[in-house]
Amino acid sequence: MEPTRVVGRAVRSLRNPIRHATLMKYQLIDTPETLARASEVLAGVSRISADCEAAGFHRYSDRLCLIQLSTPGENLILDPLAVDVSPVLKPLLEDQEVQVVMHGADYDIRLLDRDLGIALRGLFDTQTAASLLGAPAVGLASLLEEHLGVKLPKTHQRADWAQRPLPTGMLEYAADDTRHLPALADLLANSLREKGREEWAAEEFRALEGIRWEEDDTDPVTRVKGARDLGPREVTALRAALAWRDEIARSKDRAPFRVVSEQVLLGIVVARPASPLELGKLKGMSSHLAREHGRELLSRLQEVDDMAEEELKPFPRWRGNGAGRPTPEEEALANRIRDLRTLKAQELGLDRGVLLSNAQITDIVRSDPGSLKDFRAIPGIRRWQVEILGTEVLRLLKKR
């Protein structure tokens, strides 16, 4: 009798998982043996749907924890924490001839690049496709319900994907993220074809494929609501508090916001409690955290109090590309382009930010292109955007 492993409603054959494809909800790939069999399943496929799960909501590191893959007959869940999946996935996902259907692939592409060294090719992104069709809601759950009548469960949306072993319910939830993507992609591709927007989508897909992981060197205070209104000494103290939190989060492998929220840290910087006991009494502050690490925080805040004025680092007042704040003339021109963009978006049934983002408008104004060729050369600008808006935008630029 052939041995099998039962995981909830999922049956994983220890000899030939392919034979049981019709009975399986998913196959968990977490050993060298099952990875070898997965390689056989994936050999020669021309289309696959994919999704990734990371641990950033719960853990300090947002490391890649699962990769879900679906073929016409198989749903595979690969565990990169248990086995090196790169040798199997890299040739598959980097093959331009294999279509990879994903939804909202931006961050997943970054994770695949950083953690597995994979530069994905052959992408069809259903979220991007829906955006280019003017869909009012582009979340996967909304699109599946609208187009396929499929309702995705929300039970594990914020689950800890780094935990092991993973419960059956979480694995089934993960498999649901990819099993319906090919059918959705087919419907959206047909609509793109009917509207003459296939080339738009192809250009966006290729741009997504070019994304790579980049370390975030943004000043952390810029992400704290209300920090902009603080004085230089308080801003410097807030940086010290954020660094204190980051060290604790890293040591406990916990998402920083789960240690203490940014707004609580902002309140601490303003209130300046005199002791760990007072610190622990502040709203939103854990008394245990205050007892265990509060003295160190208060010591760092005192160091900031002792700094000379010239040592303080105020809130960065401009976070743009180094060109400084727009002049009144530039802002007026940008507003005219925004008005044009909004009108065109309404005509096309698109969200105005999909047609042209405000950041792109700022880049256009500052680049001041003199021709359509110059317009297309602006980083981040797509050919399809130039085709729709190029001539009229150039006309506005020449009038200034």
CB–CB of 42/48 below 8 Å?
A: yes
Q: What is the pLDDT of residues 240-261, one digit of tens each?
A: 999 999 999 999 888 899 899 9
Q: Which residue has the higher pLDDT, 281 or 322?
A: 281
The Cα–Cα gap between 325 and 80 comes to 45
- Whether the per-residue pLDDT at 4 is higher than 90: the answer is no
Q: Which residue has the higher pLDDT, 25 or 65?
A: 65
Q: What local confidence, expressed as pLDDT, does residue 164 receive?
A: 92
What tokens were used for 125? Answer: 């992104």
The Cα–Cα gap between 57 and 73 comes to 32
Q: Pairing state of beta strands 4-7 and 64-70?
A: unpaired
Structural domains present in the chain? 4-209 (3.30.420.10), 220-311 (1.10.150.80), 328-399 (1.10.150.80)
CB–CB of 270/224 below 8 Å?
A: no
Residue type, 227: A
- 202: Cβ–Cβ under 8 A, 6 or more apart, which residues? none
The Cα–Cα gap between 350 and 118 comes to 32
Q: What local confidence, expressed as pLDDT, does residue 394 receive?
A: 96
- For the segment 200-207, the average pLDDT, to the nearest whole number, is 98
Q: What local confidence, expressed as pLDDT, does residue 325 receive?
A: 74
Q: What is the mean pLDDT of the chain?
A: 90
What tokens were used for 96? Answer: 């331009």
CB–CB of 232/314 below 8 Å?
A: yes
Strand-pair partners of 99: 47
- For the segment 63-83, the average pLDDT, to the nearest whole number, is 95
**Is residue 176 packed enough to be buried (19+ CB in 10 Å), middle (13-18) or exposed (0-12)?**
buried
Q: Tell me if the pTM is above 0.95.
A: no
Confidence of residue 265 (pLDDT cuts 50, 70, 90): very high
- For the segment 305-333, the average pLDDT, to the nearest whole number, is 81
Confidence of residue 101 (pLDDT cuts 50, 70, 90): very high
- 60: Cβ–Cβ under 8 A, 6 or more apart, which residues? 249, 250, 252, 253, 254, 255, 256
